[in-house]
Structure 1
């Protein structure tokens, strides 16, 4: 009794494997030969089996993973936005620092001229006072 069940399960798994191997060579997915009274879950399962979405997804994930491992440019390309951001941040920082320095220099020059003029006025006024005595 129990041997027959496991034997028939083994046979159905072999049939399924053979059918999947045959389907893997088909370019056009075959429509499963089932009754039209299937539930939505069974139809979904059949669609997944027919179009092999899970298998294709795993294959894509594997291929992408292998591609990332074998292609040295993938990590370099993915690092570019960070490098550009860092570069732009540094450029902006340098530009701001330079602008602040220019404005500081101009202000300092302006204040120095005012101070020089103030000291000249004091000097002239002191000379006038001394002459007037």
Structure 2
């Protein structure tokens, strides 16, 4: 049973953060592709004895890798910001709904229900 719960939790998070996971996988694939091309270029430069271009190739490789990482971190920041905005909007809507012309009796019964739910947990 524990495995089923664990699996359900994992799949829930995968579904919730699927766009972020897709970006992460694409970023890792791009970095792997850059590394593959880099190795080929290094081998070619060594065989053709043009080692003076080696510095430029290394700079280009690390520039591309750093740009990919910065892009992913930027998207991660925006993703977290959007989640917090959505949660704030939901809470504001709940509070607005609660405060719409409710009598004291309705507020009291609602508070009792909330207290009972917390006690049960």
Place the TM-score, normalised by the shorter chain, in its bin: 0.3 to 0.5
- Structure index of larger Rg: 1
Query: TM (normalized to structure 1)?
Result: 0.38
- Greater relative contact order structure (CA < 8 Å, 6+ sep): 2
More helix by share: 2
Query: TM (normalized to structure 2)?
Result: 0.41
